[in-house]
A = this chain, B = another copy of it.
Amino acid sequence: MVGFLSVIKELNARFTELMRLNYVSTLLGWDQQVNMPKSEGATMGRSEQIALIEAISHRKLISKKTGELIKKAENQPNLNLIDSAILREAKRKYDKAIKIPIELVTEIAKTASLGHQAWEKSREKSDFSIFQPYLEKMVNLQRKYAERLDIGPTLYDSLTDIYEPEAKSEWISNIFKEIKPKLVKILNKLESSDLNKPNQEILKRKYDPEKQWKLSMEIIKKLDFDFKKGRQDKSVHPFTASVSSMDTRITTRIWEKYLPACLFGSIHECGHALYEMGFMEEIHDTFLADGSSLGIHESQSRLWENIVGRSKEFWNYWYPTLQKYFPENLKNYPEHEFYRSINAVKPSFIRVEADEVTYGLHIILRFEIEKELINNNLRVSELPELWNTKMEELLNIIPPNDAQGVLQDVHWSGGAFGYFPTYTLGNLYASQIYVNALKKNPDLPDDFKNGNFNNLLNYLRENIHQYGRIYRPLDLIKRVTGEELNSNYFIKYLETKFYPIYGI
């Protein structure tokens, strides 16, 4: 028994060090996006630092010692829930890592850091050619990476598996094929409505940035974002970053003439942060202190942003406050019209501003493109044109420039291919989870009306948050809701919510 205890203890200690290096690397990245001067020199210095930490981490992960510990641990009988999950994740990381040469890891980290900077410039000038060489390099590196991982059946499957364990690209394809015509059907139905359609005009007036910031701080505080365990800042692209198990940071962006950017950006990232802040102490500083998958993580942000944050009841509570912040725009603007305008459905260029109906179509576009890109059926140079073609096909609009098209997302600059589908999986998980939450707490909508968001948070903490990565996503969803992922919940949610808004 002593041997048993010491193997597990040693394995955990080793992976705790790796998790801490991961936090350090996350801080280096957070700082780069939030604080660091935007100069070539500073970027170069930081990318070398990140590459170094990643290399140290990688070397430790693939060491002979790690392999031996995993092997020994696998022979231990009767591991408890947490230890066996740690072992599973340790093995998963190790198996992936030993396939990847350290030079490739280092090169990807460097290319990501430089690529991010190039992407920012490229987007700013709406000039794809600035970003293209970096993206080409990154795609090649990702293909090499996928080849080495060799999960199959396609190269792309190796990458989706990183973000959504067990999710095969065919499984994703099938789900997307299922919802694609339904989304198009709902969209068409809404567009053909005779009613005075909601639009975003009111949201595009001038909203003082300082006040937007204060409002977002007030809202996330009310949603129980714990400022003793995190902070909010501003960055070009909003994101959530845990820099330790007790320090989760979110960022938002403020656009003076587009209220939803900051408002829903903050609520979205707050949803991610609440997940990370809710992990049980036993898994702190382990690889289980993470979302079950990116899809599940996204289900938490979407649930708060869309299902809660864009609900009638949420605004029953918050609208008077909002009016006090921005009387010049909203004093005489009816609450119901505001609710309709934040739920206006309209094909648009920018994914992060997309409504809940068209959002999935944006994701399907990216999924279809990146799958072909990684599977070697497409060249980077073809992206801008293909992007626009697909936009026309799916949403019947063409971006006026690449900044509003192919250059809008940060993901590819960092090498995150296979990441996009998790956004829509997140929406599907979220609807299914929320139906379950409602079943157990039928008063949730009334709670929201009264500014009480605690009952929902408690449900999520109890059923999802505390477990972190202990359960795999498909196990978790079944465990929580009693059934497999079922996209009908999402479609039903959209129909029930949007048809009345459009008088259907």
- Footprint of B on A, CB under 8 Å? 17, 20-21, 23-24, 27-28, 31, 35-39, 41-42, 44-46, 48-49, 52-53, 56, 227-231, 243-247, 285
**A36 CB contacts on chain B under 8 angstroms:** 247
In the complex, A243 Cα to B45 Cα: how many Å?
9
Which chain B residues border A46 with CB–CB below 8 Å?
Answer: 244, 247
Which of B20, B37, B52 contacts A52 (CB under 8 A)?
A: B20
Task: Write out the residue numbers on chain B whose beta carbons fall within 8 Å of the beta carbon of A246.
Answer: 37, 39, 41-42, 44-45
Within the complex, which residue of B45, B230, B285 is in contact with A23, where a contact is CB–CB below 8 Å? B45
Q: Is the CB of B285 within 8 A of A37?
A: no
Set of chain B residues within 8 Å of A27, measured between Cβ atoms:
27-28, 31, 49
Do B229 and A37 touch (CB < 8 A)? yes
Residues of B within 8 A of A28 (CB): 24, 27
Residues from chain B with Cβ under 8 Å of A38 in the complex: 228
For residue A28, give the distance in angstroms from its CB to the closest CB of chain B: 7
A45 close to B244 (CB less than 8 A): yes
- Chain B: CB-nearest residue to A233: B35
Cα-based distance from A244 to B50 in the complex (angstroms): 12
Q: How far is the CB of A96 from chain B (nearest CB, A)?
A: 22
In Å, the complex CA distance between A20 and B53 comes to: 9
Q: Contacts A35-B35, A37-B229 given; 13 further ones with Cβ under 8 A?
A: A24-B28, A24-B52, A35-B231, A37-B231, A39-B228, A41-B245, A41-B247, A42-B246, A45-B243, A45-B247, A46-B247, A48-B244, A48-B285
With A39-B228, A229-B42 as contacts: A52 and B247 at CB distance below 8 Å: no
B49 contacts A23, CB within 8 Å?
Answer: yes
9 A-B pairs closest in CB distance = A45-B244, A41-B246, A42-B247, A39-B228, A42-B246, A45-B246, A20-B52, A20-B49, A37-B228
In the complex, how many angstroms separate the beta carbon of A21 from the nearest chain B beta carbon? 7
Give the most central of A20, A231, A285: most B CB within 10 Å: A20
Cβ contact within 8 Å between B17 and A52? yes
Between A and B, 11 residue pairs with Cβ closer than 8 Å are A24-B24, A24-B28, A37-B227, A37-B231, A37-B246, A38-B228, A39-B246, A41-B244, A42-B228, A45-B247, A56-B56
- A48 to chain B: which residues have CB within 8 Å? 20, 244, 285
> How distant is the Cα of A227 from the Cα of B37 in the complex, in angstroms?
7
For the complex, give the distance between the alpha carbons of A44 and B39 in Å.
Answer: 33
Q: How far is the CA of A285 from the CA of B44 in the complex (A)?
A: 11
Give the distance in Å from the alpha carbon of A39 to the alpha carbon of B230 in the complex: 10
Q: Separation in Å of the A273 CB from the closest CB of chain B?
A: 12
Rounded to whole angstroms, the CA-CA distance of A20 and B27 in the bound complex is: 15
Q: Whole-angstrom distance between the alpha carbons of A35 and B41 in the complex? A: 23
Q: In whole angstroms, what is the CA distance A41 to B230 when docked?
A: 11
Q: Is the CB of B20 within 8 A of A244?
A: no
Inter-chain contact A247/B37, CB cutoff 8 Å: yes
Chain B residue nearest to A25 (CB atoms) is B24
Q: Report which residue of A49, A231, A247 has the largest number of chain B beta carbons within 10 angstroms of its beta carbon.
A: A247
